[in-house]
Amino acid sequence: MRHTLPHAPQFYVTAPQPCPYLHGRAERKLFTALHGENASELNNALSRQGFRRSQNVLYRPSCESCTACMSARIRVADFKPSRTQRRLLRRNAALRRLSTSAWATEEQYELFRGYLDQRHADGGMADMDIFEFAAMVEETPVKSRVIEYRGPTAHDADVDRLAAVCLTDVLDDGLSLVYSFYDPSMAQASLGTHIILDHIELARSSGLPYVYLGYWVPGSRKMDYKARFSALEIYKGGVWQNIGDPQTHSSETHPLSVDPIVEQVARISLPRPE
């Protein structure tokens, strides 16, 4: 179904699909196309309102009776790593960060396939081929970077091994981690956490106030790790707020918890045309 605002992008709603985070539930997304000369401005504006980018689409959960999915971001200036996170950074000190343009390589795809086969074999990306992978990385109308993490192997200190990759959007107020993956055989390195910690430092050195992590879902074991970062905010009830105690946030459903789509679209703040 299509919904529009005067002089604004057209918004659509997907048909319900099985929820990837909470068993037995259905997800539905509100989305709009991202293209044209104002793509960056729209990406910036909607990212601040809980939307995420996938290729040339911006989307936000809009499930019929569930509001569990909440966009999460870290306030860079207030972030303080835990003792475990500091220890992790020391353990991964040999990893090098390499920032490149949004261009996919066969080496990245091989790492991506190994990651999916070990961690998400039953997920929606399980059948993605190299051409679809390239589209995920390269089809971006905004400023995006591929951040690679490389380093020696445990068996050969002279080998420069690709350990992890993150597709990152550069927003006007932060870095947005669009999608990341890593070598599943390096579980002890906690590379997913390392990517976030390094992006916090990258944002700090660039003068950007936030690192956007995607969605946090109370009750989902896949998302528990995000709540372990200090200075974490969630987008809830139309505003950014401190997460506080994660246990106080519920994933329970209620038939009146979600406003009609027309009202949701009407409240979206769009960038002013120049």
| Type of residue at 153 | T
Q: Residue type for 144, please? A: S
pTM (two decimals): 0.91
Pair 164, 183: CB distance under 8 Å: yes
DSSP letter, residue 15: P
- Provide the pLDDT for residue 274: 58
> Structural domains in the chain?
76-213 (3.40.630.30)
Report the amino acid identity of residue 179: Y
Is the sign of the CA dihedral 157, 162, 163, 167 positive or negative?
A: positive
Q: Where are the beta strands (DSSP E) in 34-173?
A: 52-54, 57-61, 70-75, 96-101, 144-151, 161-170
**Upper half-sphere CA count for residue 104 (Cβ side, 13 Å):** 17
Q: What is the pLDDT of residue 5?
A: 46
* DSSP assignments along 231-252, one per residue: SEEEEETTEEEE---GGG----
CB distance 70 to 234 below 8 Å: yes
What gap in Å lies between CA 217 and CA 14, rounded to an integer?
A: 20
pLDDT at 112: 95
CA dist 66 to 21, 28, 80, Å?
12, 10, 32
The per-residue pLDDT for 59 is 96
DSSP 132-152: HHHHHHH--SS-EEEEEEEE-
Q: pLDDT tens track of the chain, all 274 residues?
A: 555 544 578 999 999 999 888 888 989 999 999 988 899 999 999 999 999 999 999 999 999 888 889 999 999 999 999 999 999 999 999 999 999 999 999 999 999 999 998 876 566 677 889 999 999 999 999 999 999 999 875 555 666 899 999 999 999 999 999 999 999 989 889 999 999 999 999 999 999 999 999 999 998 888 889 999 999 999 998 999 999 999 898 877 776 777 888 899 999 999 876 5
- Cα–Cα distance for residue pair 133/135, rounded to 1 Å: 5
Report d(CA 61, CA 172) in Å as an integer: 23
